[in-house]
Structure 1
Amino acid sequence: MVTAIVLAGCETAPPPQVAAPVKPVGQPMPYKWTVGNAEKGHKAMVSTFSRAGLAPGQFVWAETLPTEGDPKVIVDLLTQTAYAFKGDVLVGAASISSAKTGMVTPLGYWKVLDKKKLGHSRKYDNAPMPFMQRIDEYGIALHGGVNPGYPASHGCVRMPMKFAEKLFGLTKLGTEVVIEG
């Protein structure tokens, strides 16, 4: 009898009020790690090139480049976009293909450690990596390659070939690469 009374008491209690989740301000997408560079790159692409996005294999590049300022590369894994800056000026943007499921394109601050016009993978059947710019000791690199419009690489950042060539000409050893996503 006591059990019936307890259950009846539970059934008549009003359901708890639950608030709807609040979307974080200033971070419209679920980034695992960002310091705002990806958003800065996107805004610069819209204002500089009047483009809000790029199709697979597409890129934009400025007709003239600033003479001052260090190059910097920003990679946004969520939008699959890379941004090339010279100083504070966006000079190019491209669609990319980063690591597929089960592989990793590492987030964080990196530097260009090695550059080769025609590099080759040390891990994956000596695969060609044109305009290769290695950013870590494990072989992760920025390079020209197949760009299907979604993450499909073993961890490298694949870019349209012509963009990779232009970026290769812009950067130098020690150029900062920031990968957010």
Structure 2
Amino acid sequence: MTTPRGFTALLVASVAFATLVSCGPVTTTTVRKPQLYEWNDDGGPGEVAIRINLETQRASYTRGGRPIGWSYVATGTPGHSTPQGTFRITEKVIDKYSNAYGWIEDEFGNVVNGDAQPSTPVPAGCNYVPAPMPYWMRLTDWGIGMHAGLIPNPGTPASHGCIRLPKPFAPVLFSVVNVGTPVKIVKEKPALPAIPVDDPSSSTTTTYTLSNPTIP
């Protein structure tokens, strides 16, 4: 049986132990965000050209044929596919809003429908808000273009058909392109690296690609 004096001593010891534990080092884990773009434009001679790969969800940028950067993009999801082909920028607008998609929010600004259209019924007390598309660069007459937007999972499509650009990068690209800048959209698997294969009967090394079925 624990005496009152023994109980008090036990309580004091427990509090002291808890204090020591609470003062110990706290371990935290920092999740590193993926790099969304890289830009090395020197502003030298030549026009900017853009190439977007739907397979990798990445765009590459050149000036006069010289590589000057790359970025992740987020293109159309199934049912809202981004068209392939060769296009040119036909319009530039800094503050652009979609006339096809948006969301519905209540009087307090809470989103009650995050994937709405102008024809979507709006509940009483709510408002339809068109989706912002800042740094808009139009590619087609039917509403496909490039603009700043959320890229929730780099490497994965996420849009209604437009090409979303990383938000910090969109104004950078917007500032160096013009109406008429070429944009090529393709769907290609990334090139596989070459593999050096030593020929034991020769002092030279033969290089094959991974797609070559004749590798010895």
Same fold, TM-score > 0.5, yes or no: yes
Residue from 144, 149, 162 that aligns with 2:148: 144
% same residue: 33
Q: What is the deviation of 1:57?
A: 6.2
Q: What is the deviation of 1:56?
A: 5.5
Pairwise CA RMSD: 1.4
Give the 3 Å change call, closer, same or farther, for CA 84–138 of structure 1 in structure 2.
same
Identify unmatched segments of 5+ residues in structure 1.
1-54
Give the SS at the match of 1:60.
Answer: strand
* More helix, by proportion: 1
TM score, norm. by length of structure 2: 0.56
TM score, norm. by length of structure 1: 0.66
Q: What is the deviation of 1:101?
A: 1.2
1:106 matched to 2:107: no
How far apart, CA to CA, are the structure 2 residues paired with 1:122 and 1:85? Answer: 31
Deviations 1:23-72 (A, max 9, x none): xxxxxxxxxxxxxxxxxxxxxxxxxxxxxxxx76610011x424211111
Give the 3 Å change call, closer, same or farther, for CA 87–117 of structure 1 in structure 2.
same
Count of matched residue positions in the alignment of Structure 1 and Structure 2: 126
**Structure 1 match to 2:39:** 61
- The amino acid across from 1:60 in the alignment is E
How far apart, CA to CA, are the structure 1 residues paired with 2:34 and 2:148? Answer: 13
Give the SS at the match of 1:155.
Answer: coil
* More strand, by proportion: 2
**Structure 1 match to 2:51:** 74
How far apart, CA to CA, are the structure 2 residues paired with 1:107 and 1:147? Answer: 20
**Structure 1 match to 2:136:** 132
Residue from 165, 170, 186 that aligns with 1:164: 170
How far apart, CA to CA, are the structure 2 residues paired with 1:162 and 1:91? Answer: 17
Give the SS at the match of 1:178.
Answer: strand
Question: Hey, which bits of structure 1, 4+ residues long, moved more than 6 A?
Answer: none
Q: Please tell me whether Structure 1 or Structure 2 has the larger radius of gyration of its CA atoms.
A: 2
Identify unmatched segments of 5+ residues in structure 2.
1-32, 103-129, 188-216
How far apart, CA to CA, are the structure 1 residues paired with 2:34 and 2:162? Answer: 16
How far apart, CA to CA, are the structure 2 residues paired with 1:100 and 1:56? Answer: 21
